[in-house]
């Protein structure tokens, strides 16, 4: 028993110190924050990038705040996204957003991170809260594969569109940011202005644009005026953009018009008139659209419709006045006529005259005429069949052309329907011969000759007879001379015929033949390099010619395709016959690979119809070519005209030796003289 008690006491004495040792106070390890090793983060210039970082050795650190050190000498752009961020869980990766400057060259850059944190200092029994900080440098790789921000002028428009000398106008220059980053605080300056050509009428030649989004557009407008003595032609101006430390100058062009090539051009389109026979007191309606197909407004327009015979009288106003007709604008015109009771069955010509002016015509007026025919039918009264008024009448009651618009220099088929209007009498021995207008242009090879000539036949044909109320149709193939002007010509049908009693009669009918000149645009070979580089401008050029006989109106040349352009469109205006022009625009590819595009020529022909010609091209777009690294050559020592340094050293040594020999000889001679003097 005593042994058991003694053993228990000894065990208690041993355990008590061990218990105290188990609960002894320990020191708290201080944090030594570092960044866990990982692949180098890659950032893209001109964009907001997100990187993930993981902390290590944080130990007792808490309330950790990370602040990127963004300064002027760093490639990062300060903004609200780079403010301090709180790291709530140091055991998890945290994200950091960095906005890289758009023009940062590709390379590896240091990123300074400042960490502020709190931690416990002391032991587990006794500690205090301390504040710590640490700067850590991480390295990031920045690539410039994104398209750098760049401003390109896309077009220039003027209001009004066509500018005469002495005229005030607004010039709006449109441009686009073709890069992947916004551009802010852009200043502009327009230069090349002169009081002798184009000068600033009001406002400033400098401008400011707050911001242009990536791939966004903008424009700036200047109030300009053309000098009163300026010659017609195209004048070059320059606009300079300054942004992000970059200064770029681009050219724009403004055309001053003075000649008739830019005049208005009023034409008659879509003419509709009654082809049925019109009886006395019935209305004959003729309507058409008056279109200004020229590039500038026409003014003081007068449209007159006049009967050439008193037996046809107007039933509406015969003169319509229009103060102004803008470029591309049309106005519907309508006239009414009616044959009187004194009219006879025949075709009555009605002359339509159009006069107008514009800013180039001065006091003179542009004038043109066109004719339509009214087919009058007057039934013979009872008992008048044998009187002159009751004589048999032969008329052309209907005619048509194939094609409907007769082209100069080509054949056409004319169908004529001859109608005997008399209800009781037959006409016989009918001779019909056609006469046409002559070519009035003195410079034309066909001047003085007929506009139309029959093909493989005569202009005279014979019909045996046509019964009462009978009709006979004849077709004749005609040829139009190549240099005929685009307008409506008059073809006259002359009739000679007899009635059943052998009485001879004559009559004439007028046929209006609309002639158009075929538009001929000759386009040369496109000039361009088949290989292009991403984001770099590639020129596309071509020369084109108007080889037709008529002016091409409102001509436009433009580049089309899935790419950006510079000087991508050119408004030629009225492209006169025999003229030539040159176009050069620039294609800026935005993706690598095969790129297809087209150069589109659009214009209005002499009939007012819009025509379009496309010239396709294909470019092979490659990534930006790497800049060659040129080795640094060791400096070349001057060779003093081709003699090496050692030669000069040798020559110097020889010279010194020669001087030494001469000095020694002089000293020896002097000593010999002195010895002689002593001996004497």
Each residue of 9-21: pLDDT tens digit? Answer: 555 555 555 444 4
- Across 174-178, 346-350, 543-547, 642-646, the highest mean pLDDT is recorded for 543-547
CA neighbor of 81 nearest in space, from 96, 66, 59, 60: 96
Average pLDDT over residues 26-32: 79
The predicted structure's pLDDT at residue 680: 45
Q: Is the pLDDT of residue 619 over 50?
A: yes
The domain at 521-622 falls in which architecture?
Answer: Sandwich (2.60)
The predicted structure's pLDDT at residue 511: 86
Asked if 151-258 and 379-517 have one fold, the answer is yes
The predicted-structure confidence for 248-264, as pLDDT tens digits, reads as follows 899 888 887 654 445 77
Work out the angle at residue 517's Cα, subtended by the Cα atoms of residues 513 and 263, and round it to the nearest 5 degrees: 105
Q: Residue written as tokens 């935005």?
A: 590
Q: Is the pLDDT of residue 475 over 60?
A: yes
Average pLDDT over residues 531-552: 88
The predicted structure's pLDDT at residue 612: 92
Average pLDDT over residues 82-94: 82
How many CB atoms are located within 10 Å of the residue 316 CB?
Answer: 12
The domain segmentation of the chain, as residue ranges, is 34-143, 151-258, 379-517, 521-622
CATH domain 379-517 topology: Immunoglobulin-like (2.60.40)
The predicted structure's pLDDT at residue 496: 92
The predicted structure's pLDDT at residue 601: 95
How many CB atoms are located within 10 Å of the residue 154 CB?
Answer: 18
For 157-182, letters b (16+ CB in 10 Å) and e give ebebbbbbbebebebebbbbbbbbbe
Give the residue with greater pLDDT, 504 vs 25: 504
pTM as predicted: 0.37
The domain at 151-258 falls in which architecture?
Answer: Sandwich (2.60)
**pLDDT band with cut points at 50, 70 and 90 for residue 35:** confident
The predicted structure's pLDDT at residue 634: 46
Task: List, in sequence order, the alpha helices (H) in 359-509.
Answer: none
Q: Average the pLDDT over each of 290-304, 457-471, 568-582, 646-660 and give the range with the smallest value.
A: 646-660
pLDDT > 70 in the chain, percent: 82
What does the chain come to in residues?
Answer: 680
Q: Average the pLDDT over each of 57-66, 147-156, 573-582 and give the range with the smallest value.
A: 147-156
- Cis bond leading into 160, ω under 30°? yes
| Average pLDDT score over the chain | 80
The domain at 34-143 falls in which architecture?
Answer: Sandwich (2.60)
- Residue 575 makes CB contacts below 8 A (sequence gap 6+) with 261, 521, 546, 551, 552, 553, 555, 581, 603
């Amino acid at each position: 028993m005593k042994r058991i008690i003694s053993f228990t006491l000894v065990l208690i004495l041993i355990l008590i110190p061990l218990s105290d040792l188990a609960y002894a106070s320990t020191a708290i390890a201080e944090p030594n924050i570092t960044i866990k090793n990982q692949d180098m983060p890659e950032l893209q210039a001109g964009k907001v990038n997100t990187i993930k970082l993981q902390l290590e050795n944080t130990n007792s650190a808490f309330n950790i705040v990370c602040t990127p050190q963004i300064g002027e000498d760093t490639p990062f752009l300060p903004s609200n996204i780079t403010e301090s961020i709180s790291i709530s869980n140091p055991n998890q990766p945290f994200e950091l957003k960095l906005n890289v400057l758009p023009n940062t060259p590709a390379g590896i850059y240091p990123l300074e991170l400042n960490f502020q944190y709190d931690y416990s200092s002391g032991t587990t029994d006794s500690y205090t809260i301390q504040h710590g900080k640490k700067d850590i440098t991480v390295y990031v790789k920045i690539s410039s594969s994104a398209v750098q921000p760049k401003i390109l002028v896309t077009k220039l428009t003027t209001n009004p569109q066509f500018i005469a000398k002495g005229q005030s106008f607004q010039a709006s220059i449109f441009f686009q940011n073709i890069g992947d980053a916004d551009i802010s605080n852009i200043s502009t300056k327009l230069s090349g202005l002169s009081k002798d050509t184009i000068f600033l009428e009001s406002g400033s030649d400098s401008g400011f644009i707050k911001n242009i989004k990536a791939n966004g557009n903008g424009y700036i407008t200047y109030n300009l005026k053309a000098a009163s003595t300026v010659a017609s032609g195209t004048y070059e101006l320059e606009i300079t953009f300054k942004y992000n430390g970059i200064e770029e100058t681009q050219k724009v062009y403004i055309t001053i018009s003075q000649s008739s090539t830019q005049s208005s051009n009023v034409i008659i389109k879509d003419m509709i008139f009654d082809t049925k026979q019109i009886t006395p007191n019935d209305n004959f309606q003729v309507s058409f659209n008056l279109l200004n197909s020229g590039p500038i407004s026409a003014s003081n327009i007068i449209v007159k419709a006049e009967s050439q015979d008193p037996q046809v009288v107007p039933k509406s106003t015969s003169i319509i006045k229009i103060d102004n007709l803008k470029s591309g604008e049309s106005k519907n015109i309508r006239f009414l006529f009616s044959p009187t009771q004194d009219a006879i069955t025949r075709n009555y010509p009605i002359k339509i005259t159009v006069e107008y002016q514009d800013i180039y015509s001065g006091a003179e007026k542009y004038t043109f005429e066109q004719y339509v025919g009214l087919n009058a039918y007057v039934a013979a009264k009872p008992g008048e069949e044998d009187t002159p008024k009751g004589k048999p009448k032969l008329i052309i009651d209907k005619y048509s052309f194939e094609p409907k618009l007769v082209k100069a220099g080509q054949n056409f088929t004319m169908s004529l329907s001859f109608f005997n209007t008399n209800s009781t009498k037959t006409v016989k021995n009918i001779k019909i011969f056609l006469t046409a207008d002559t070519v009035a242009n003195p410079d034309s090879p066909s001047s003085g000759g007929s506009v139309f000539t029959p093909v493989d036949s005569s202009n005279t044909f014979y019909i045996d007879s046509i019964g009462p109320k009978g009709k006979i149709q004849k077709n004749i193939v005609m040829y139009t001379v190549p240099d005929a002007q685009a307008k409506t010509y008059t073809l006259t049908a002359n009739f000679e015929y007899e009635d059943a009693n052998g009485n001879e009669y004559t009559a004439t009918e007028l046929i209006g033949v609309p002639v158009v000149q075929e538009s001929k645009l000759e386009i040369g070979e496109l000039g361009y390099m088949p290989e292009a580089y991403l984001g770099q401008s590639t020129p596309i050029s071509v020369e084109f010619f108007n080889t037709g006989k008529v002016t091409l109106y409102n001509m436009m040349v433009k580049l089309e395709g899935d790419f950006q352009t510079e000087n991508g469109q050119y408004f030629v205006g009225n492209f006169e016959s025999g003229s030539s022009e040159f176009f050069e625009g620039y294609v800026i590819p935005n993706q690598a690979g095969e790129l297809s595009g087209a150069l589109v020529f659009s214009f209005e022909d002499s009939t007012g119809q819009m025509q379009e010609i496309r010239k396709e091209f294909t470019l092979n777009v490659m990534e930006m070519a790497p800049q060659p690294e040129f080795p640094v050559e060791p400096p070349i020592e001057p060779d003093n005209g081709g003699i090496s340094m050692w030669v000069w050293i040798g020559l110097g040594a020889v010279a010194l030796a020669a001087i030494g020999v001469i000095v020694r000889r002089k000293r020896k001679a002097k000593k010999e003289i002195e010895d002689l003097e002593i001996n004497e």
